[in-house]
Amino acid sequence: MAVLLAVLLSGLFGTVTRSPITPVCVAGQSCSAPAAGVTLTFLRGGKPVRSVVTSATGKYRVLLAPGVYTVRVSPSTRVGRLTPATVTVPPRVVARRAFVIDTGIR
């Protein structure tokens, strides 16, 4: 049974970062930071399927059926635009996908 479940599992894992975090990037200093405590919501056909909250280090993990999902981030009023906004979950794989939140700082 455990082997069967392992074969059928699909989903995503990875990190969400905020970037840029300063108006001017300086050589030797990171221009991005982990997006801690944001909610990623995965939608199919415009309807929410599953949500996950990022850890203090911006990491997330979510099990999803294979297919194409639109991804939204919230609270949107404080975080910015998410890239990519659409992801494909492959069958029988928990794949790594990184997301970046554009803070709008220029």
Neighbouring-strand partners of residue 73? 40
pLDDT tens-digit profile, the chain (106 residues):
444 454 468 999 999 998 877 777 777 777 878 999 999 999 999 999 999 999 999 999 999 999 999 999 986 545 568 888 999 999 999 999 999 988 877 6
pLDDT of residue 4: 47
pLDDT of residue 79: 58
Contact 101, 84 (CB under 8 A): no
Q: Which domains does the chain have, with CATH numbers?
A: 13-22+30-102 (2.60.40.1120)
pTM given for the model? 0.82
Place of tokens 């790594």: 96
Structural element, H or E, at residue 50: strand 47-53
